[in-house]
Structure 1
Amino acid sequence: MALAQTSFFSDVLGLSCTMNVILPQQTKRQIGLEGKAAAGRFPVLYLLHGLSDDHSIWLRRTSIERYAAEYGLAVVMPAVARSCYTDMKVGHRYWTFVSEELPEIAGALFPLSDRREDTFAAGLSMGGYGAFKLGLSCPDRFAAVASLSGGLDIRSRFERGQVMPLAETESIFGKKEEAVGGPNDLFALADKLAGLPAEQQPLLYQCCGTEDFLYDENIAFRDHARSLGLPLTYEEGPGEHEWGYWDAQIRRALEWLPLRKL
């Protein structure tokens, strides 16, 4: 695998940005990791970070490079600050950036496939919310998306105050009455997705540790998705909101993706 640490300019955000990109590389003499790469443009996973992290965190806390190597999978890891992957009420248009501009820039710089069947997203916590938002909002572009311990219910952001202060929540989503039921509400997006034919719905993978403080809202989203008949795979087990759990689960998520090992 090759690692590209990339700085680039975003017209949408009006500022310089960073992303880490893992790329399959065919090698013969690499010790400890077999270099595999299929011909043509690579399938791609957009791997999203959590609230307190940045584009470097997946490489620092997990073995994502080693896991992705088995599949010849490119992994794009952008930085989006504390934006909740949203066009913020007061702030930058990070949703437009990650859903529209980032794939265009990454695809222009690297040999990434733009076919739906080769395009996936995953993330943890805030990034789990972002990954599901990509799949539910852009089902024509994502074949499968995965949420690890996702913050999936924006209603809880207004009620609990334990993830971020209410003032910060409102600077991102606006007031609760305008946020709930809108384009940032995964429950409302799931309702819309259910109206599409089954073959047009992306596959959903959701997991959460039973000791995680976000467990209740994960159960709420799981039950809602199941009531709609969405193609959801749900797994739970012992675990808190921590990297040991996510390192194990991102490997499980890669195994679940509709990819083949090379």
Structure 2
Amino acid sequence: MALFQCDFFSEKLGFSTGMSVILPQPSLAEVASRKEGTDYKYPVLYLLHGLSDDHTAWTRYTSIERYASSKGIAVVMPGVHRSFYADMEQGSRYWSFVSEELPLVARSFFPLSARREDNFVAGLSMGGYGAFKLGLHHPERFAAAASLSGALDVASRLQHPAFPYTDAGEFERLYGSVEKLKAGPSNLFNLLTSAAELPPEDQPRFYQCCGTEDHLYEDNLRFKAAMEESGLPLTYDEEPGMHEWGYWDRNIQRVLDWLPLSR
């Protein structure tokens, strides 16, 4: 595998940002066997970070590079700060960046497949929310989405006194108001019906896991129940565990095993 730290200018954000990218490294024999003039494109997992992390966190705290090596899959890890993958009410357009600009930029720099069946998204905590948001908003782009300890009930979670928002105005800068969040497209519960109305072959597969001692466990149970009621294809796993990297390191391996890789 090869690891790239890529710094680039984002037109959606209006400033320079970064992403970490893992690419399979073919052997010399594999390169020689490919027909001249053909471009090989790798399947890709967009892997999203949590609230207090950045685009380097997954490579620093897990063995994602080693795990992806046996799968022949590229991994793109963008940085979005504390944005909750939103076009902020008062701030930058992180949703537009991650949903529209990032895939185009990443494919322009690296040999990544644009085929739906080769595109997947996963994340932890805030990134688990972002992964399901991408899968539900864009089922035409992603074959599967996975949430590890996801903050899936954002409206309830952001009002919880134990949530680690140190600035009292941070929520308002993100969403404006609780009412606006609950009624809008950033509330994952509002997206389930339209996704469930798609033909089964057009619905992404979903994977959800959470530790039973995690402070987001009850949120995950609520969303699991809503997913099951919608009829969307969901694989759910739980086990003893807290909101920490040891749990995510174990479970990202399960996500990679679960992905419907077509080659």
Shorter-chain TM-score bucket reads over 0.9
Equivalent position SS for 2:169: helix
Equivalent position SS for 1:145: strand
Q: CA deviation at 1:128?
A: 0.2
Structure 1 gaps, min length 5? 30-37
Which of 207, 212, 215 is matched with 2:214 structurally? 212
The aligned amino acid for 1:23 is L
1:32 matched to which residue of 2? Answer: none
Equivalent position SS for 1:151: coil
1:46 matched to which residue of 2? Answer: 46
Conserved in 1, the CA contact under 8 Å of 2:21 and 2:75?
Answer: yes
Conserved in 2, the CA contact under 8 Å of 1:209 and 1:236?
Answer: yes
Identical aligned pairs, as a percentage?
A: 59
Deviation track 1:174-231 (CA, whole Å, cap 9, x = no partner) reads 2111110311000001122112111111000000000000000000000000001010
The aligned amino acid for 1:147 is S
2:126 matched to which residue of 1? Answer: 126
Which of 246, 249, 253 is matched with 1:251 structurally? 253
Q: Please, which moves more after superposition, 193-202 or 65-74?
A: 193-202
Q: Please, which moves more after superposition, 151-160 or 202-211?
A: 151-160
Residues 106-145 of structure 1 aligned to structure 2 (within 5 Å): 106-145=106-145
Conserved in 1, the CA contact under 8 Å of 2:19 and 2:78?
Answer: yes
Q: Please, which moves more after superposition, 77-86 or 167-176?
A: 167-176
Conserved in 1, the CA contact under 8 Å of 2:44 and 2:74?
Answer: yes
Deviation track 1:128-152 (CA, whole Å, cap 9, x = no partner) reads 0000000000000000010000000
Distance in 2 between the 1:156 and 1:166 partners?
Answer: 16
1:161 matched to which residue of 2? Answer: 161
Conserved in 2, the CA contact under 8 Å of 1:157 and 1:169?
Answer: no
Distance in 1 between the 2:162 and 2:28 partners?
Answer: 50
1:35 matched to which residue of 2? Answer: none
Structure 2 gaps, min length 5? none
Conserved in 1, the CA contact under 8 Å of 2:117 and 2:262?
Answer: no
Which of 178, 183, 186 is matched with 1:184 structurally? 186
Q: TM-score scaled by structure 2?
A: 0.93
**Runs of 4+ displaced beyond 4 Å:** none
Distance in 2 between the 1:18 and 1:51 partners?
Answer: 16
Q: CA deviation at 1:166?
A: 4.8
Residues 168-179 of structure 1 aligned to structure 2 (within 5 Å): 168-179=170-181
Equivalent position SS for 2:183: coil
Q: Please, which moves more after superposition, 43-52 or 154-163?
A: 154-163
Distance in 2 between the 1:174 and 1:135 partners?
Answer: 24
Q: CA deviation at 1:159?
A: 2.5
Equivalent position SS for 2:180: helix
Deviation track 1:47-74 (CA, whole Å, cap 9, x = no partner) reads 0000000000000000000100111100
Distance in 2 between the 1:109 and 1:259 partners?
Answer: 22
Conserved in 2, the CA contact under 8 Å of 1:181 and 1:187?
Answer: no
Distance in 2 between the 1:157 and 1:223 partners?
Answer: 17
CA root-mean-square deviation: 1.8
Distance in 1 between the 2:159 and 2:15 partners?
Answer: 33
The aligned amino acid for 2:22 is I
Q: CA deviation at 1:171?
A: 1.2
1:34 matched to which residue of 2? Answer: none
User: 2:240 aligned with 1:238, yes or no?
Assistant: yes
Conserved in 1, the CA contact under 8 Å of 2:117 and 2:261?
Answer: no
Distance in 2 between the 1:111 and 1:174 partners?
Answer: 39
Q: TM-score scaled by structure 1?
A: 0.93
